[in-house]
Structure 1
Amino acid sequence: MGKRLLLFLLTNILVMTTIVIVWSVITQYTGINGSYRLGNGEIDYGTLMIFSLVVGFTGSFISLAMSRWIAKMMMKVKVIDPNRPANAEERIVYEKVERLARAAGLRHTPQVGIYQSPEVNAFATGPSKKRSLVAVSSGLLHSMDDDAIEGVIAHEVAHVSNGDMVTMTLLQGIVNTFVVFFSRIIAIAVSRLVRSELQWIVEFAAIIVFQILFSILGSLVVSAYSRHREYHADNGGAALAGRDKMAHALRSLKMHVDRANVKDYSDDSAVQTMKISSKSSFFSLFSSHPPLDDRIAKLEK
């Protein structure tokens, strides 16, 4: 889920920034009244909140709609043709996803893909249960045994079944709303510190800067909720594949993380991705996954 969340957050920031730039240009040069200020120059907070809600949720839902396409493009995912798997490995992976999706009560089997990477990873994404994607890395397929692979896939199918992408999108929409709202209030305050002829450009630049900054801070909230949902996906994976297979999958992941921590892979981005549990308490706040030891302990309880 970590890779999916990172792509979603980056796409959300880019979409939000694009919306702001386009809207600012339109209102500045076409004469359309997009102002949330009163006649005396003071802020109309009610209008600003409505504007923030529209922009915030629009950005979030556009990011959701693009999530599957972005993931396939960025990760170079090869989607498996269910009628013509290229080899036995593709056939086995597709059959596992199909069987687990049926067990989860999904009416449509997600798209299934493999991406070439030495990292031991998998993710699920997509705008809906019907238009979802479950992708696994070649590193995971070549490093784990069959039971561990099934546990990982069951975990990702549980994310789809739980509707975590839609839930995360709604939360992101709320975060976006506050990001847009407060970035504009601060930007207007900053613009009043310069000459009147420079105020528009200063306000525009400040909006972009503060919106990106607040979006990064807002990702703390989204990441915290993501960590909470990981426990639910572990339980869902245990219900689909069996608790023993799910626990075995988590222990296998931990083994690879520990192995990565022992060796010096500071320049290896693929191995860094496996380091779900960071030693730094600050950077762990941005992690989409709780520590593997905690996940294993909760699952065994």
Structure 2
Amino acid sequence: MFNRIALFLATNLAVMLLAGVVMSLLGVNSSQMSGLLVMAAIFGFGGSIISLLLSKTMAKRATGAQVIVQPRNEGEQWLLATVQRQAQAAGIGMPEVAVYDAPEINAFATGANRNKALVAVSTGLLRSMSRDEAEAVLGHEVSHVANGDMVTMALLQGVLNTFVIVLARVVGGIIDSYLSGNRESRGPGFAYYLIVMALELVLGLFATMIAMWFSRRREFRADAGGASLAGRQKMIAALERLDASHRPSTLPAQVEAFGIAGGIGQGLKKLFLSHPPMQERIAALRNQPSTVS
């Protein structure tokens, strides 16, 4: 928790310092800048925080995931027991465990609170994976929860949104002022709104690249966590099974980034992937010093 708060504060401080330097160089009024930062922060963080708080509910509805309250068979008993053991080892509260109907091998974790999270697996995973492979996938998802990845991603997205809103409006105002002959008495011209929209699109693309870069880093960390909880060979075998399945994800967009499967794309598209290519993840585990066999 402390690391996430420190990252959040450090990133915000960096944004504020950078914004201050840019505004000083461009001669933007400090009082105007303060109001803009407040407005941008409200809109920038509002959506990501609300999505985080509703993430469990949205994920259940979007996937039709059924939470296991009373195990109906030995498989569900094994799922609950495995997640409970891994959660205790990771130092988090017992997540809700759910199963959703989907043909592909996949699983995801979400939730705003690491002690009240949700871990869900697809029926395709239960049909196609061995217990050892499934154990590693569950360890991967439990590691996402223990690392606080959902909260960190939401905070990072909020910071990036805020920066995009501020920079687009400041640069848009400067360009509009230049085009209008620096007439300060008139309000923003039509060009201002067009420029802001264009800048938000362009800057939004760069912000997405940054968010997806971080998302790919967290997948490597979750793979390492899964290897620690279940065993490195089990984690490698699980990733190899996922790599061989070649089934596209059916997870909704709001949940897809938190699934274990992903990372298909070439060229520039790779910059917008939430997951590294599976072969890179497997290679990273194989090159990692072994602590758990």
Question: What is the 5 A alignment of 1:108-123?
Answer: 108-123=93-108
The aligned counterpart of 2:147 is: 162
What is the TM-score when the length of structure 1 is the normalising length? 0.71
Equivalent of 2:266, from 256, 277, 280?
A: 280
1:136 deviation in Å? 0.7
Moved more, 275-284 or 170-179: 275-284
Distance 1:198 1:113 in 2: 54
The one-character-per-residue Cα deviations of 1:65-90 (angstroms, maximum 9, x if unpaired) are 11111111111111110xx1233332
Equivalent of 1:50, from 21, 38, 46?
A: 38
Distance 2:199 2:174 in 1: 12
Give yes or no for contact 1:179–1:211 (8 Å, CA) kept in 2. Answer: yes
2:210 is equivalent to residue 225 of structure 1 = no
Sort the Cα spacing of 1:114 and 1:174 in 2 relative to 1 into closer, same or farther, 3 A.
Answer: same
Sort the Cα spacing of 1:216 and 1:135 in 2 relative to 1 into closer, same or farther, 3 A.
Answer: farther
1:243 deviation in Å? 1.1
1:166 deviation in Å? 1.4
How many residues matched?
247
The one-character-per-residue Cα deviations of 1:98-130 (angstroms, maximum 9, x if unpaired) are 111111121x20011111011211111100112
Equivalent of 2:48, from 57, 60, 65?
A: 60
Distance 1:49 1:182 in 2: 10
Equivalent of 2:134, from 149, 162, 166?
A: 149
Amino acid at match of 1:66: L
What is the TM-score when the length of structure 2 is the normalising length? 0.73
Sort the Cα spacing of 1:201 and 1:110 in 2 relative to 1 into closer, same or farther, 3 A.
Answer: farther
1:246 deviation in Å? 1.0
2:63 is equivalent to residue 78 of structure 1 = no
Among the aligned pairs, what percent are the same residue? 40
Give yes or no for contact 1:124–1:132 (8 Å, CA) kept in 2. Answer: yes
Distance 2:195 2:265 in 1: 34
1:55 deviation in Å? 2.6
Match of 1:285, SS state, is: helix
1:208 deviation in Å? 6.7
Amino acid at match of 2:212: S
Sort the Cα spacing of 1:220 and 1:111 in 2 relative to 1 into closer, same or farther, 3 A.
Answer: same
Equivalent of 1:100, from 71, 86, 91?
A: 86
1:94 deviation in Å? 1.7
Sort the Cα spacing of 1:48 and 1:71 in 2 relative to 1 into closer, same or farther, 3 A.
Answer: same
Distance 2:33 2:187 in 1: 23
Distance 1:80 1:249 in 2: 23
1:285 deviation in Å? 1.2
- Structure 2: runs of 5+ lacking an equivalent: 1-27, 288-293
The one-character-per-residue Cα deviations of 1:265-286 (angstroms, maximum 9, x if unpaired) are xxx6649x89723242221111
The aligned counterpart of 1:176 is: 161
Amino acid at match of 1:231: F
Amino acid at match of 1:104: A
Give yes or no for contact 2:261–2:275 (8 Å, CA) kept in 1. Answer: no
2:245 is equivalent to residue 256 of structure 1 = yes
2:287 is equivalent to residue 298 of structure 1 = no
Match of 1:134, SS state, is: strand
Distance 2:37 2:104 in 1: 43
Amino acid at match of 1:237: G
Distance 2:281 2:249 in 1: 24
1:183 deviation in Å? 3.6
Moved more, 156-165 or 166-175: 166-175
Distance 1:71 1:190 in 2: 42
2:228 is equivalent to residue 235 of structure 1 = no
Amino acid at match of 2:72: A
Sort the Cα spacing of 1:53 and 1:198 in 2 relative to 1 into closer, same or farther, 3 A.
Answer: closer
Amino acid at match of 1:113: A
Amino acid at match of 1:98: Q
Amino acid at match of 1:280: Q
- Structure 1: runs of 5+ lacking an equivalent: 1-40, 261-267
Give yes or no for contact 2:263–2:274 (8 Å, CA) kept in 1. Answer: no
Distance 1:275 1:235 in 2: 15
